[in-house]
Amino acid sequence: MKTKTPELHVFSENIYPEWEINEKKFIDIAKKIFNFYISLEEVFEKSCLVCHDYNTVSFDFLYCDSVKTHEINKEYREKDYPADIITFAIFADTPVEERFVFDGEINLGEIIIALDKVIEEAEKKGKTKEDELAFLISHGILHLLGFDHQTEEDYNFIIELQDKALKAL
């Protein structure tokens, strides 16, 4: 079991001019969600962090529009549609024997979020756009930690974790 919380380096860039999000606020939210997840033994023990020696974890956010996520989906994932979120979990998706920890730091990867889709989905659900963004951030972090939802059981596990993390905020 993990004994200490790592130092977190979270970076973000917003290239979507229609929503000037408070990046510092959402970096703080991401850090709280990440720390909540790894504080849960059932999450940490199944994460890509287990069995690695590190003291720092980093990951990035890119906030953009659905035109950009469509381009990324086509180029890197061979999928021809815009996405609300794309996660490049470079550490988790690398075979264990090839994972790279440099100078005690693990770079988990990048979360790309289409803010126009966030706004659209928030309106559909009757939520604030900030709440919907926090929901997607919590989802992306789980992907960075190596969780996926290919089965209904996995999907339900992820949604349950997200609900717990967002309530803990």
Q: What stretches of the chain adopt beta strand conformation (E)?
A: 7-14, 56-64, 85-88, 105-114
- What's the pTM value of the predicted model, to 2 decimals? 0.94
**% the chain with pLDDT above 90:** 90
Helix, strand, coil shares of the chain as percentages rounded to 5?
45, 20, 35
For the chain, what is the radius of gyration of the CA atoms? 16
Q: How far apart are CA 80 and CA 62, in angstroms?
A: 20
Superfamily designation of domain 7-168: Metalloproteases ("zincins"), catalytic domain (3.40.390.30)
pLDDT in tens, 44-72: 999 999 999 999 999 999 999 999 999 99
The CA distances from residue 75 to 39, 146, 164, in Å, are 36, 22, 34
Beta-carbon neighbour count of residue 1 at 10 Å?
A: 6
Reported as a single tens digit per residue, the pLDDT across 125-144 is 999 999 999 999 999 999 99
In the 8-state DSSP scheme, what is residue 130? H
The length of the chain, given as a count of residues: 169
